[in-house]
Structure 1
Amino acid sequence: MSELASTAGRWVSEHRRPLTIGGVVVAVSALIIGIVSVVAQRDDPVDMQAYAVPIVSINDIPAREFIGWSQQAVDVRPQNSPVPERMSAPDNGQCVPGGKLQTAVQSMVLSGSRWSGNKFVNPGGAQIMNVQLSNSPNTNPDVIDDWLSSCAQTHLVVDGAGDQELRLASLPVTPEFYRLDDARVYTATLEGDRTMTTMTGWGVADGITVQVDFTFVGQPSDEAIAQFDVVWRAQAGKLVGMQEAGVL
């Protein structure tokens, strides 16, 4: 049993909030993208093929766990998210999505001269997974801890779209279990008319940063944690295995 799966039940019961969502077919909105995803071409040169071999593909993931999923090419490295238009956090301005604290967290994988990424999509389940490897020089996990503690709960005001609640939470993780030098796992949940969550795993192994993001409808659940952990373990294992074999 994986480390995350073994603690999932306790963690979910502590963080779960009542929610009912019925018949939701989600296209990830600009609002959600501003919080948990990033898209845009960067101007600085990046070796996009640097980690094409160690990054996981759909063929590295057990088929029974990902029926209906497909892989999409990522042609350019993403860019840090800007603050979404018409959005504010009146009670804690530094915690607005795309603000200074979150940008620092995003830069922990979206920086450096070498980067590779893959995207896995399950349209029927309204789910997306992004996998990234980079040689980012920003590897201090205190940056993540500061964001999580400072912005654990943020009230967002969006003109014309009603109020939203952004909740951040940390999931216990032992880096050594995944043979990583350091690691963090956390969730960002946006609650409003509809609720979406992104679960993120970040880690470092011998100078290479690994990050896995899983975006899905609803609150964190045992099933979501288990599905995330399949890809998280696969990517960490493939990267470290190649490093230990001396082929990377």
Structure 2
Amino acid sequence: MKNTVDIQLEFNNNTLRAKEPTTLLLIPISSEESTTPLSLEEVHTKDIHLIVVSEDLSFFTHEHQQKEGKGYTVNLTFPFAGKFFLYSDIKPLGGFPVVVQKTVVVAGEQKEAQHYQHEVLSASIEGVYVQLDVNDSSAIKVHIQRNGILIPASSLGDFLGAKAHVVMISQESKEYLHVHPMVHKDELVLHADVKAKGIFRTWLQFLLEDRLYTFDFVLSMKELSLSGHHH
């Protein structure tokens, strides 16, 4: 079926500038009837999950909007100049889930672009340590520890209707996946429908004792996985 869903993007400044707050307006529309805003279904407690990344994938944010009139508003501050990709993860009323990708160019002070070549499978934030087990790329296991003690998945909070959210974006093609890990034997297991091989920047978000943690990784996908988006 042909995808006829689009996002009309408006912002309050004539030019987007790095380090200057801006308000974005996202209006879901049909590309065939662009004058009529689309109604959306709530998915994982939100109408739109907006993922914003820089072109080099060094910057990531997962934002949620306030319904305002004909669209949804979100306040953003871009950290540096350059090209940024906006992925709007939505489900039109009575339709199928879809991801609409938009590109904006931000003026101002630039920074040297990052290029990721080697896998990074572990990360830590203030005593919380996460290790990815990628021995089976179709079922990536997530091990979470705090101060050396394993944290069972059942002890994680409910973040947007799931125990965790994972976003994966291909460094080469910018292929996007938003996956919710399954809980198996009290650990998180990630099944991702990856259609391209190569380097994927990966961000894991979960709640632990009411604090939202965001960990980032670099995965080298050598084999295509089996199951996928929003399972």
Same fold (TM over 0.5): no
Taking CA–CA contacts closer than 8 Å with sequence separation of 6 or more, which of the two structures ends up with the larger relative contact order? 1
The structure whose residues are more often helix, as a share, is: 1
Q: Which structure has the larger Rg? A: 2
Q: TM-score normalized by structure 2?
A: 0.31
